Amino acid sequence: MADRGTAAEPPVRPPRWWGSVRARTTLASTLVVALALVAAGAAVLAVLQRNLVESAGLQAEVAAREVATQIAVGTSFDRLDLPDDDDRPVQVVAADRRVLAAGDDLHHAPPLADFAHPPHRAGKPDDDHDDDDDDTPARGSAAAHAAFRTVPLRLHDDQRAAEPFRIAGLLATTPDGRTVTVYAGSSLDTERQATSGVRDAMLIGLPALLLVVAAVTWLVTRRALRPVEGIRAELAEIMDGDLSRRVPQPASRDEVARLARTTNATLAALETSVERQRQFVADASHELRSPIASLRTQLEVARAHPELLELDGLIEDTVRLERVASDLLLLARLDAGERPRAERLDLAELVRDELARRSGDRLPITADLPDGPCPVSASRTQLARVLGNLVDNAQRHAGSAVRVAVRRGAAGTLALDVTDDGPGVPPAERERVFTRFIRLDDARTRDEGGAGLGLAIVRDVVHRHGGRVEVGDAGGGGARFTVTLPGRCPGSPEGVRSPDGP
């Protein structure tokens, strides 16, 4: 029966095309380009329309000045040379708003505009004139400035709708001192047609341009993301268990190439970690097999022959098994990234207390400790474990003496030395002795019951505390293990040793 507490995970389905990064990038870029084009098109149309309106106003002003010049030189109103009503309608209006002169279609029409009281140039928002309220021309002259206004006009009776015109108003004075207003208009039909043509061209070209942008973005994004898809596919296959494989790395130096390099570095670190874990499990199983097999054998013999029971052997194997399990547990916690719970303590006092608790050592231990405190921030339990492992290692390999010293190291550090007069550690093996489950072939590691984890624990704990551990030669032969930790210690400067030291 299936376990109701667990549910099968749904299969991972590839995202639909509209949910992909490529689709979102294409949509976003197309939308941005569309907004930019619409804004640019609106600006272009506004500028074009303004320029065309100003051009029409200039044409209307030119026509008005031509008529105003004729009036200023004394030409009678019925003899004025007026332009064509269809393109530039003109009216000459008296102060009482009577039309004095105009084309055939505008002679009986009301004034084209009313500029009798034009708004001030800087006043209302719809102000579009260029004249001054006090701009009254002298006798036989025309005003210096013209006022402008856009109005709809119907110049013919058969015209269905009024057309917009730009009207220019200009004051003129006859030689006899009579002031009249000359209105001249210019059709804005050309402006309307040009603006409509440009707008229609933009509306027709915009979809085609956006289609091109979307297609190019889609293709470029697909090409750019192709290596990412290759990395994903390779990772999906690597997750099946073959950590020796690597993802393809592009030859470029962009973000995708850096992603591939980082992924390969992560896979290499993961492979190393998995291999180390497998080796650790295999070595741990091997180390645990011996004491467990010995215990089982002795218990089976004791069951068959109670008189042959050896309690000392059982206790020894049990203690060895307990030590191996404790070491494995500590290493597992260190590998899991557990940080030590640091406290402020005196390293010299810790060494003094731990050495006082020891009993049953094969050789006496000589301590060289400073009188003053040596403060260090560390875990007392783990630091005591480091000292115990180093002293146990020295006890197994020393010939006649073991020495422990605390001294001042380099600037900002203090050192813990554990020396013995044994065979020493060859220079080629001084890094290898800190490897887990390693036993050298010389007399130095022919210990009784050691699992090859003590020095590995020392190195890992010291590194977690920001320090380092090294192996050197002791004076007169033997090995010296030096642990350097951040801290300060009074006493002799670095390198000055007691007479029996190295």
Sheet hosting strand 99-102, strand order edge to edge:
99-102, 90-93, 179-187, 163-173, 147-153
Q: Residue 160's pLDDT is what?
A: 60
Q: Residue 387's pLDDT is what?
A: 92
Q: Residue 105's pLDDT is what?
A: 72
Q: Residue 212's pLDDT is what?
A: 92
Integer Cα distance of 158 and 329 in angstroms: 106
Residue boundaries of the structural domains of the chain: 17-240, 255-334, 340-486
> Which CATH homologous superfamily contains domain 340-486?
Histidine kinase-like ATPase, C-terminal domain (3.30.565.10)
Q: Residue 156's pLDDT is what?
A: 64
Q: Which fold has domain 255-334?
A: Helix Hairpins (1.10.287)
Integer Cα distance of 267 and 261 in angstroms: 10
DSSP state of 436: T
Task: List Cα–Cα distances, 302 to 214, 312, 318, in angstroms.
Answer: 85, 13, 16
Integer Cα distance of 496 and 402 in angstroms: 19
Q: Residue 34's pLDDT is what?
A: 92
Q: Which residues contact 245 (CB under 8 A, 6 or more apart)?
A: 234, 237, 238, 267
430's tokens: 């001084």
305's tokens: 């022959």
**Per-residue confidence in pLDDT tens, the chain, 502 aa:** 444 444 444 444 555 555 578 888 889 999 999 999 999 999 999 999 999 999 988 998 898 898 889 888 888 888 888 887 667 788 898 888 888 888 777 777 788 877 654 433 333 334 444 444 455 677 667 677 788 887 777 776 656 667 888 888 888 888 888 889 999 888 888 888 888 899 999 889 899 999 999 999 888 888 888 888 888 888 888 777 777 788 887 777 778 888 888 888 888 888 887 777 777 777 677 667 777 777 788 788 777 877 777 777 777 777 777 777 777 777 777 776 777 778 899 999 999 999 999 888 889 999 999 888 889 888 888 899 899 999 988 998 888 889 999 988 877 788 999 999 888 888 888 888 888 777 664 444 434 445 678 888 889 889 888 899 999 888 778 899 999 998 776 654 444 343 334 3
Classify the phi-psi angles of 148: left when phi > 0, otherwise alpha if psi is within -120 to 50, otherwise beta: beta
Q: Residue 3's pLDDT is what?
A: 44
Integer Cα distance of 37 and 409 in angstroms: 71
What string of DSSP letters covers 258-301? HHHHHHHHHHHHHHHHHHHHHHHHHHHHHHHHHHHHHHHHHHHH
Tell me, yes or no, if the pTM score tops 0.75: no
Integer Cα distance of 418 and 140 in angstroms: 121
Integer Cα distance of 353 and 350 in angstroms: 5
Torsion of CA 472, 328, 376, 350, to 10 degrees: -90
Q: Residue 225's pLDDT is what?
A: 80
